[in-house]
Every structure is written in C-alpha cells, then in structure tokens.
Amino acid sequence: EIVMTQSPATLSVSPGERATLSCRASQSVSSNLAWYQQKPGQAPRLLIYGASTRATGIPARFSGSGSGTEFTLTIISLQSEDFAVYYCQQYNNWPPYTFGQGTKLEIK
C-alpha cells in the first residue's frame, strides 16, 4: 500500500498571500495524483488531477506540480473561501486508493 504524507498538518497564511502545500508518496505514483478541498460539513471537491490539471470550474489561482513521489499544491492570492482542509490522493497503485492525512489551511 502506498502511504501518502502531507505537510504541514496546519498552515497559517494571510489572505492575499501564497500557500504551498506538500504531499509525498512512499513510492512513485508517476503523475497519478489528485488534490481535493474540503470545507466543514461539506463533501470533498476535486481541484486537481493528473498532478497538474485543474478540474472544471477551479480558479487559476490553484496549481499543482510534481511527479514521482513529491507533489505541491500552490494557491496564490488566497481568498477567504480557500481556507479549508486539503487532501492528496494517489491512484497509480491500487487497490487501495490512498489519501494523505490532510493539511488544514487557516487564516493567519
């Protein structure tokens, strides 16, 4: 089973600033990585798939990068609605599909 590790667990950033979230896989997942955003009481929402392709309707301030074992989600010009929990998920070696433990992006 591939273990996904996200860092940091909590990230405090001011509105308008840039946030950089990391996700590391225990072995290569190529570019088969997705990012999700989850707000309290809501279901996760797909942001990025294929490590760097934005899902339909996702603003351009969200970008994903990386391949192999190291991935990054970058959010520039943080808006109030961006403060949430973010999860990465690998779909290269499955079953099982595996998720990271999440990074909480909070307002500084």
Partner 1 sequence: EVQLVESGGGLVQPGGSLRLSCAASGFTLSSYEMNWVRQAPGKGLEWLSYMDSGGGPIYYADSVKGRFTISRDNAKNSLYLQMNSLRAEDTAVYYCASEAPISGSGWFDPWGQGTLVTVSS
Q: Which residues bind partner 1 (CB under 8 A)?
A: 32, 34, 36, 42-46, 49, 55, 87, 89, 91-92, 94-102
Name the minimum Å distance from CB 49 to partner 1.
4
Per-residue CA distances from 67 to 19, 33, 59, 61, 90 (Å): 19, 8, 22, 20, 11
- Helix (H) / strand (E) containing 53: strand 53-54
Name the minimum Å distance from CB 56 to partner 1.
8
Nearer to partner 1, 16 or 67 (CB): 67
Nearer to partner 1, 66 or 102 (CB): 102
DSSP state for residue 41 in the 8-state scheme: T
In angstroms, the CA 12 to CA 24 distance is: 20
Nearer to partner 1, 45 or 61 (CB): 45
Closest CA to 76 of 66, 87, 67, 64: 64
In angstroms, the CA 98 to CA 18 distance is: 27
Nearer to partner 1, 8 or 15 (CB): 8
Name the minimum Å distance from CB 60 to partner 1.
18
Name the minimum Å distance from CB 16 to partner 1.
28
